[in-house]
Structure formats: C-alpha cells, structure tokens
Amino acid sequence: IWAKPVVMIMVRKSRYTYELLERSSEFTISFPAENKLKQELAFCGTKTGRELDKFKECRLTPLPGRKLDTPIIGEAELHYECKVIYKQELDNTVLTSEIDKVWYSDKDYHTMYFGEILCSYLTDSKE
C-alpha cells in the first residue's frame, strides 16, 4: 500500500499497547519459530503490561532493534521494525451487527495502525 512495505495491526483502546503506540508511533513485531514460545504467547495475551513486566515474567530477552528504539524479543526469529504511518479507529457503523454484538459488546473497538516496515530480518533465537 502506498508503494511501501506495510503491516496492519489492530489494538483495542483498553490495552496497554494502545497507550504505548500513542506515545511512540513505532512498534516491532517479533515472530517465534513454529511451535516455540506457546506458553509465553498465551501468558502475554492474558496479562497486562501495566501491572507486570512481561519480559521478566516470561524470561524473554529484550534486545535493541536495528533501526528503532523499540525492542525486539531475543527468543523470536523474525522481526519487523515499523513506524506508524496511518491510524484509524474502527467505525462500528460499517460492521455487521453480528460482529459488533459478538466482538464488541463492551464497545471497546480496535484502532487500526498501519506501520511502514522499516526493516525486517531473521535472527538466531536464544531458545
């Protein structure tokens, strides 16, 4: 899109990640190898970074990114470093009523962030 390598992520306003994105306008995505870090992913998906250090709790290693100040996860293998180039709040008026009812009964709608991938690379995971 826009002649740039772009990735889109969706984050709810209630998430700590939303606050971090609003402050920094950059993010990294670290992908583990297949069948790796399953317990850590499950833990991170159910706990908030407002209350605990997920890196410490999961024994993950934050490493500096190559282009951005946002860390990558040392135990993962594929990394994207991204700069937010566009964001938009989800417009519930164009959602189907079924999606709205099932996924947004609490009205905690996602914000969509489009990130330009500034660099992507593979690393040897620490695991």
- Give 99-108 pLDDT, tens digit per residue: 999 999 999 9
Q: 3-state class of 59 per DSSP?
A: coil
**Confidence (pLDDT) at 7:** 97
Q: Is the domain defined by 6-122 classed in CATH 2.30.110.10?
A: yes
The rounded distance, in Å, linking the Cα atoms of 66 and 64 is 7
User: Which ranges constitute the DSSP H helices of 4-122?
Assistant: 16-24, 38-44, 54-57, 97-103
- Reported as a pLDDT band with limits 50, 70 and 90, residue 65 is very high
Query: What pTM did the predictor assign?
Result: 0.86
The rounded distance, in Å, linking the Cα atoms of 59 and 47 is 15
Q: Contact, 127 vs 75, CB < 8 A?
A: yes
**Confidence (pLDDT) at 110:** 95
CA atoms within 13 A on the CB side of 82: 21
**Confidence (pLDDT) at 83:** 97
User: What average pLDDT does this structure show over 77-83?
Assistant: 95
User: Considering only CA atoms, which of 94, 78, 64, 100 is closest in space to residue 30?
Assistant: 78
Cα 109 to Cα 10, 44, 87, 105: the distances in Å are: 9, 20, 13, 9
pLDDT tens column, 20-62: 999 999 999 999 887 788 887 776 777 677 877 787 877 888 9
The rounded distance, in Å, linking the Cα atoms of 95 and 114 is 19
